[in-house]
């Protein structure tokens, strides 16, 4: 008899992970603007305030710097806070606490303390939220030693990686693409973890490796399925973790396929694809390349409000198909 696979949305998977963490460890609590009665800007926290009370699901004032400071301070005292930013763009308001405090305390104090704080960032374009509410800033934080930066692409992974992040002794920044919140997928019940720092090969292939992040994983898989009909067999790697990056999985794949396409939503210049490309160029996989590495990232412009322009600023499935086809056929 077939057993039905339980499916949850990406948002539901996050909520379930936070509930499990709070049930298992009284040190875990939530902070953020409007996460209490309102349930969060994207309704991710939902009814958790009713289940756990306002002392553990805390609405904060409209001050990202202040909220982040409280979260970092609480982590230093042994608590395990999960701090939600309404939009990832607002990380810019809290960089002092994220970059100068959370990331550096363990090092500056000789390993005598840890900062087990999790910060959640709804990120990315596609909602018509315009330039100040649609950015992808994971490369900014991925540049900082002391931070771990993750980008789960599926409901299964976001639950498991969030639970791994809560248990981690170091600060973990989790970027959640806003368009993924309603996406559904199989999610096991109960507690499980997905390792931070390990990429996942979503599709095996022989002709070309695509390394993608977040929502671009799904677009890359769609492109790969379309190109299969043309006889182009693509391997798709879901990077999952920006820092620490799983470079070995990428290197091994490129040795097999001899071609690499990096796909990410953030602005192309100095983005994740640059680090992925460098990892291959600095390894023995470079000798296996049959074509130059190609990066397909966002346009060099703030995200527009107009929906057609917004869509045109970040890679879409036809863009990935065109880039992969040209690379596989030696036109790049």
pLDDT by 10s per residue, the chain, length 332: 445 679 999 999 999 999 999 999 999 999 999 999 999 999 999 999 999 999 999 999 999 999 999 999 999 999 999 999 999 999 999 999 999 999 999 999 999 999 999 999 999 999 999 999 999 999 999 999 999 999 999 999 999 999 999 999 999 999 999 999 999 999 999 999 999 999 999 999 999 999 999 999 999 999 999 999 999 999 999 999 999 999 999 999 999 999 999 999 999 999 999 999 999 999 999 999 999 999 999 999 999 999 999 999 999 999 999 999 999 988 66
Residue 265 in domain = yes
Active site residues: 64, 133
Residue 191 in domain = no
Domain ranges, residue 83: 7-186
Q: Is 57 helix (H, G, I), strand (E, B) or coil?
A: strand
pLDDT tens, residue by residue, 2-17 = 456 799 999 999 999 9
One domain, residues 163 and 310 = no
One domain, residues 111 and 220 = no
pLDDT at residue number 329:
87
CATH of the domain at 132: 3.40.50.970
Please list, in sequence order, all residues whose beta carbon lies within 8 angstroms of the beta carbon of residue 38, skipping any fewer than 6 positions away: none
Global pTM?
0.95
State the Cα torsion 195-148-245-268 to the nearest 10°: 130
To which residue do tokens 């182009």 refer?
232
One domain, residues 15 and 102 = yes
Based on the structure, what is the number of domains in the chain?
Answer: 2
- The alpha carbon dihedral of 287, 264, 31, 156 has a sign of negative
Residue 194 in domain = no
pLDDT tens, residue by residue, 84-116 = 999 999 999 999 999 999 999 999 999 999 999
Residue 205 in domain = yes
One domain, residues 208 and 180 = no
CB 151 within 8 A of CB 180: no
One domain, residues 248 and 317 = yes
Q: Is 78 exposed, middle or buried (0-12, 13-18, 19+ CB in 10 A)?
A: exposed
One domain, residues 27 and 122 = yes
């Amino acid at each position: 008899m077939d057993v039905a696979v339980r499916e949850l949305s990406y948002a539901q998977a996050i909520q379930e992970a936070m509930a499990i963490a709070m049930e298992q460890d009284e040190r875990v609590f939530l902070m953020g603007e409007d996460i209490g009665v309102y349930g969060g800007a994207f309704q991710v926290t939902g009814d958790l305030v009713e289940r756990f009370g306002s002392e553990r699901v805390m609405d904060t004032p409209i001050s990202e710097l202040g909220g982040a400071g409280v979260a970092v301070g609480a982590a230093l005292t042994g608590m395990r806070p999960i701090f939600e930013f309404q939009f990832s763009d607002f990380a810019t308001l809290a960089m002092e606490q994220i970059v100068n405090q959370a990331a550096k305390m363990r090092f500056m104090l000789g390993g005598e303390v840890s900062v087990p704080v999790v910060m959640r960032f709804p990120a990315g374009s596609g909602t018509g939220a315009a330039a100040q509410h649609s950015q992808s800033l994971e490369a900014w934080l991925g540049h900082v030693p002391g931070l771990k930066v993750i980008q789960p692409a599926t409901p299964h992974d976001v639950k498991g990686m969030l639970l791994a992040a809560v248990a981690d002794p170091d600060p973990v920044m989790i970027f959640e693409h806003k368009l993924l919140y309603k996406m559904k997928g199989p999610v096991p019940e109960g507690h499980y973890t997905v390792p931070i720092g390990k990429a996942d090969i979503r599709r095996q292939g022989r002709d070309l490796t695509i390394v993608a992040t977040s929502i671009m994983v799904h677009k890359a898989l769609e492109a790969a399925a379309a190109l299969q009909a043309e006889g182009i067999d693509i391997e798709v790697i879901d990077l999952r973790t920006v820092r620490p990056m799983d470079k070995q999985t990428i290197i091994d794949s490129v040795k097999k396929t001899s071609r690499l396409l990096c796909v990410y939503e953030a602005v192309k210049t100095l983005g994740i694809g640059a680090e992925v490309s460098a990892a291959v160029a600095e390894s023995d996989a470079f000798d296996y390349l049959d074509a130059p590495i190609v990066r397909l990232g966002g346009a060099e412009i703030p995200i527009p409000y107009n929906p057609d322009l917004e869509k045109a600023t970040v890679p879409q499935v036809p863009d990935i198909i065109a880039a992969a086809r040209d690379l596989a056929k030696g036109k790049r």
